[in-house]
Structure formats: structure tokens, C-alpha cells
Structure 1
Amino acid sequence: MRPVSRRDLGVLATGLAVAVWLVVRASYGSLPELRWWLPVPLGVLAVAEWMGARTLRARLAALRDRRPPAERGSAPPVRPVEPMLVARAAVLAQASAYVGAAFVGIWLGVLAHVAPAVSRLQAASGDTVTGVVGVVCAAALVGAALWLESVCRIPPSASDDEPPAAARG
């Protein structure tokens, strides 16, 4: 599995921002009112992924630092981390990064139309608040997802620096 490309996330967000700006520009009068709480689930998911990354990082660090039982003494045992849990978390992180980038683009596209219209349109002020909350929540989701993905990476071992036996000779 390859890490998420930051460039791909940027292209996705930019492309959707332009597309949504065009759609909102053409049909803003017929769109329903955007409530401020619409993007909040993205923020909740961002907090959940941040907490999961923090917990997983602590458990993996404890496993890496674990000493042999004779040296450990009365230290509490470390609960092992299942490899499939880490793999599933990595897949969740990658999917969340793309979803977050998509919503960053969507909310930026909305903001690109409504923010300049605040002085002209009464509804634009509420929609601007929703757009700002949306961009913040979606960006938080991207950040939490990228951090969770980095926590799930396997650190290089000393044997990774050596070429395989077939390549040596």
C-alpha cells in the first residue's frame, strides 16, 4: 500500500472547488439554506481519527520499547496490537483523506461564491459561516487522516538497509 499523495489531494480539492463554484454560481437562488451544522460530522470523524491515531501510536511505541520479561520487573504488560487492526486503520485513514479533500473543495467552492456576496445577499452571510465551518472540519479530517496513516506505517528495520542475498552476489 502506498501513502496518500498530497498532490492528489490538492488536485481533488481544487477541481471540486472549481466545479462547485460553477454549480453554485448558476443555481444559488434555488439551493436550500445551508445550516452551520451540516459539516459537523466531518469534524466528529476528525476527532475520532485523531484519538485513534494517538492511542495506536502509544500502543505501538509501547510494543517497540518492550523489554524482555526478566528486565521488565513489575511493569504492566503491553496489550498487543493486531496487524489487521493497523491495516484497517491505514485503509480508513486513506479513504478519509480523500473524503476530507473532496469536502474541502466543495466548501471552498461554496465560499468562493457566497463570501463576496455577503453585502448583496442576506442568505450569503449564513452560508459563509457554514462554508467556513465546512472548510475547517474537512481540513481537520484530512490532517487527522494523514496523521493516522503515518502512525500505521511500519518503521524501517536494520535489515532494510542491506540488499537481498540474491542481489549481493
Structure 2
Amino acid sequence: MRPTRPGVLAGLFVVFTILTWGLLKPFYADLPIVQWTSIPTVLLLAIGEFYSGWMTKARIERKPNTKPVEPLTVARLVGLAKASAYGGAIFAGIFAGFALYTANLLDQSVPRRDFFITGGSFLACVLLVVSALYLEYCCKVPKDSDEKDR
């Protein structure tokens, strides 16, 4: 499995931002209000992935007071990290497109509320992507001492 490429994540972000912004023009008035619950949910996911990465790195490096980690567990964490990075980039694009559309309507109460909620959700998604990339980085197998000497 290859590492996640930031260029692909940026491309997904841009595409979904443009699509969301374009689709909101005709349909914004018909949508229900945006719920604030996405912000703490995504933040908890980001914190969990960051903590998992930190602990996994310590276990892979065999730090004191840690148990060795099973290879299958590391493979599952890498899969979680890749899925979270792509999903976070897509949802960050959706929330950014929503925030861009509502930025022009800040003089009205409902769009202003939607702007702040989608802006916070966007920031939470960015933290999720960063945490996912960190988790993926922490799951790398360290180089052998023989390879370092060469």
C-alpha cells in the first residue's frame, strides 16, 4: 500500500468545494438547517486518530512500558487512516463549499448560523485529515539497523 498523496486530497477538496457551491445555488432555500453536531463528532474522531498514532508509534518503536503491536492491527490502522484522510478531504470540501456560498448571505440569520457551523465543521475536517496523515505516518515500519548502516 502506498502512502496517501496530499495532491489527491487537495484535488478531492477542490472538486467537492466547487460541486457543493454550484449545487447550493438552486437548492439552498429548500434545505433544512445545518446541525452543529458534526463539529464535536469529527473533532473526537481526529483526537482518537491522533492518539492512536501516538500510541502505535510508541509500540512499534518498543518504548518502555508498551506492548508490541501486532502487524494486522497496524494494517487496519493504516486502512482507517487512508479512509479518514479521503473522507475528511471530501467532507472538508463540502463544508467549505457550503461556507463559501453562505458567506455572501451573512446579513440574514439562518445563513449566518449555517456559515459558522459549516466553517467549524470545515476546520474539524481539516484536523481529521491531519490526524489521519499522522496516524498513517506513525504506522510505517522502522528501517532495520543494517539498512541504516548502508
Fold shared, TM-score > 0.5 on shorter chain: yes
Does residue 110 (structure 1) correspond to residue 98 (structure 2)? The answer is yes
Residues 37 and 130, structure 1, Cα contact 8 Å, conserved in 2: no
Q: Which amino acid aligns with 2:119?
A: V
| Higher gyration radius (CA) | 1
Q: Counterpart in 1 of 2:121? A: 134
Tell me how far apart the structure 2 counterparts of residues 159 and 25 of structure 1 sit (CA, whole Å): 60
Per-residue displacement from partner, 1:45-72 (whole Å, max 9, x unpaired)? 11111111111122222x1x67xxxxxx
Report runs of 4+ in structure 1 exceeding 6 Å deviation. none
Q: Once superposed, what is the RMSD of the aligned Cα atoms? A: 1.9
Residue identity (%): 29
CA drift of 1:157 comes to 2.6
Structure 1 stretches lacking a partner, 5+ long: 67-75, 164-169
Q: Counterpart in 2 of 1:9? A: 9
Q: Counterpart in 2 of 1:72? A: none
Per-residue displacement from partner, 1:15-37 (whole Å, max 9, x unpaired)? 00000001112211001001222
Q: Which amino acid aligns with 1:122?
A: S
**What is the number of equivalent residue pairs in this alignment?**
150
Structure 2 stretches lacking a partner, 5+ long: none
Tell me how far apart the structure 2 counterparts of residues 9 and 39 of structure 1 sit (CA, whole Å): 20
CA drift of 1:39 comes to 3.6
Per-residue displacement from partner, 1:114-163 (whole Å, max 9, x unpaired)? 012102x2211110111111111101100100000000011233544799
Residues 90 and 148, structure 1, Cα contact 8 Å, conserved in 2: yes
Residues 18 and 97, structure 2, Cα contact 8 Å, conserved in 1: yes
Residues 59 and 81, structure 1, Cα contact 8 Å, conserved in 2: yes
Q: Counterpart in 2 of 1:26? A: 26
Identify the range of structure 1 (49-58 vs 96-105) with the bigger mean alpha-carbon deviation: 49-58
Q: Which amino acid aligns with 1:118?
A: L
Does residue 43 (structure 1) correspond to residue 72 (structure 2)? The answer is no
Q: Which amino acid aligns with 1:140?
A: L
Does residue 93 (structure 1) correspond to residue 81 (structure 2)? The answer is yes
Tell me how far apart the structure 2 counterparts of residues 28 and 13 of structure 1 sit (CA, whole Å): 20
